[in-house]
Amino acid sequence: MVEICQVSEENLKLLLDEFQQSTRASKQNCQSVAERIKQEVERICIESKRIQASGEISKWAKNLAQHRLRQCLHYYKLGSREGRIHLHSSLSAIVYRYITPPQIQSSYQARLNLIEDFLQQFYLEALNAFRRETELPIMYTPHTLLELAEYMAFTERYGKRRIPLSGGRSQQLIILRAQTFSHQQPKETSVDIDQAAEGTTSDSDKTWNDGSIQQVREAMAARQDTDDDIGSLRQVVIEELMAYLEERQQQDCADYFALRLQDLSTGEIESILNLTPRQRDYLQQRFKYHLLKFAMGHRWELVHQWLEADLEHNLGLTPTEWTALHDQIDAEQKSLLDLKHKGLSDEAIAKTLGRKVNQVKKKWHKLLELAWELRNHSNSGASASTDE
């Protein structure tokens, strides 16, 4: 132990000196990254039976530290854009032959699209592993170029880790993940508000995964790089929902939402938040309540615009559904809908209808719920037809 402590301090000095000489990062930034690499090397040397049995712990420690130093500086010199391209290309080449679901085996472009989906999911897993292994906060993200280089170097090593299998065999972790991903197709892998709300499919409240909320899933699943406006609107929805929860002192719900957006499993969330399954289930239900309040009342315009279910799109209803909505509402609700279409404020509508503002808001909330139920009924019918 004395030996590893001594070489760890030597490694720290080497790493710090090299980062300060080879990068433009601040001294504090260099210190933090060097410290994390030193601790990783130290942990590996202590936990590896092979290294412990080699009798050359110091040599292993120095080689591991230098290897990580070279990797980190390599990505740093490539820069943010080229570094990402290099990492993406390297990992894509590894998993290409393993992303082969039968239904698309003849489609080269479809395979590339699936690889893109898989790697986005894998990057999230690698980031979570990086936070966990370096004991960083659960919301940590790289901010400087050196930190981004550190994360990309870690992601490459993480993907190439050898995982022991039966019969004395081993396989790279990213290949195992790719095989699992491929076997699970077709499967939606994008992270969205619906997933954040409902948890896994084994959670208790199955009714939440309805066709109305499915629209949130589909909107979240849309690729941001194909429509910058939609991507920006999605981010605004996330940020405002976070602010909404924090303003109402629902920090535990905000934490839960943040973890779900990172695509963590139910078990991981329970572990990070130190919750029992029962406590996590209660927190999940409370979050769902606040999510619905936000989506249907607090910022309904924003959410419906993002879902393309705003008033300009007849609340996302088809002509048949729009007619059905009018058949189910009374004269006052029809007037409310017409006044909303004209762009009048709640105050102006209340004055016109001879109602209080809160009464107008409640009636509008119920009307929105009815519209979502109509979309839900339609989507459920489509799903049933597909299943048959």
pLDDT digits (tens, 9 = 90+) for 228-269: 444 455 666 777 777 788 778 888 888 888 777 666 677 778
Statement to judge: residues 290 and 146 lie in one domain: no
Which whole-number Å values give the CA distances from 386 to 3, 4, 136, 373, in the listed order? 65, 61, 45, 20
Rounded CA-CA distance 135/132 in Å is: 5
Q: What is the pLDDT of residue 322?
A: 75
Statement to judge: residues 314 and 294 lie in one domain: no
Which one, of 124, 243, 252, lies nearest residue 189 by Cα? 124
Statement to judge: residues 63 and 172 lie in one domain: yes
Statement to judge: residues 93 and 232 lie in one domain: no
Q: What is the pLDDT of residue 40?
A: 92
Statement to judge: residues 246 and 110 lie in one domain: no
Q: What is the dihedral of CA 35, 38, 43, 48, to 10 degrees?
A: 170
DSSP character string of 87-122: HHHHHHHHHGGG---GGGTT-HHHHHHHHHHHHHHH
Statement to judge: residues 255 and 108 lie in one domain: no
In a domain, 191, yes or no: no
Which whole-number Å values give the CA distances from 89 to 66, 148, 370, in the listed order? 24, 17, 48
Query: Taking a C-beta distance cutoff of 8 angstroms, is the pair 314, 368 a contact?
Result: no
Statement to judge: residues 31 and 122 lie in one domain: yes
Rounded CA-CA distance 133/126 in Å is: 10
In a domain, 218, yes or no: no
Number of domains in the chain: 3
Burial class from Cβ neighbours inside 10 Å (0-12, 13-18, 19+) for residue 347 reads: exposed
Query: Tell me: the pLDDT tens digits for 20-78?
Result: 999 999 999 999 999 999 999 999 888 888 888 888 888 898 999 999 999 999 999 99
Q: Which domain holds residue 348?
A: 308-378
Q: What is the pLDDT of residue 387?
A: 40
In a domain, 202, yes or no: no
Those residues of the chain that have pLDDT short of 70 are 1-7, 100-109, 185-236, 261-264, 295-317, 375-388
Q: Is the peptide bond before 186 cis (omega within 30 degrees of 0)?
A: yes
Statement to judge: residues 141 and 23 lie in one domain: yes
Statement to judge: residues 255 and 323 lie in one domain: no
Which one, of 15, 2, 130, lies nearest residue 62 by Cα? 15
In a domain, 260, yes or no: yes
Q: Where are the alpha helices (DSSP H) in 96-210?
A: 108-134, 145-159, 173-183, 193-198
Statement to judge: residues 20 and 103 lie in one domain: yes
Statement to judge: residues 257 and 318 lie in one domain: no
Q: What is the pLDDT of residue 231?
A: 47
In a domain, 215, yes or no: no
In a domain, 205, yes or no: no
The predicted model scores a pTM of 0.49
Statement to judge: residues 89 and 175 lie in one domain: yes
Rounded CA-CA distance 387/381 in Å is: 10
Q: What is the dihedral of CA 165, 166, 168, 173, to 10 degrees?
A: -10
Q: Which residue has the tokens 């006052």?
A: 332
Domain end position, chosen among 256, 276, 301 = 301
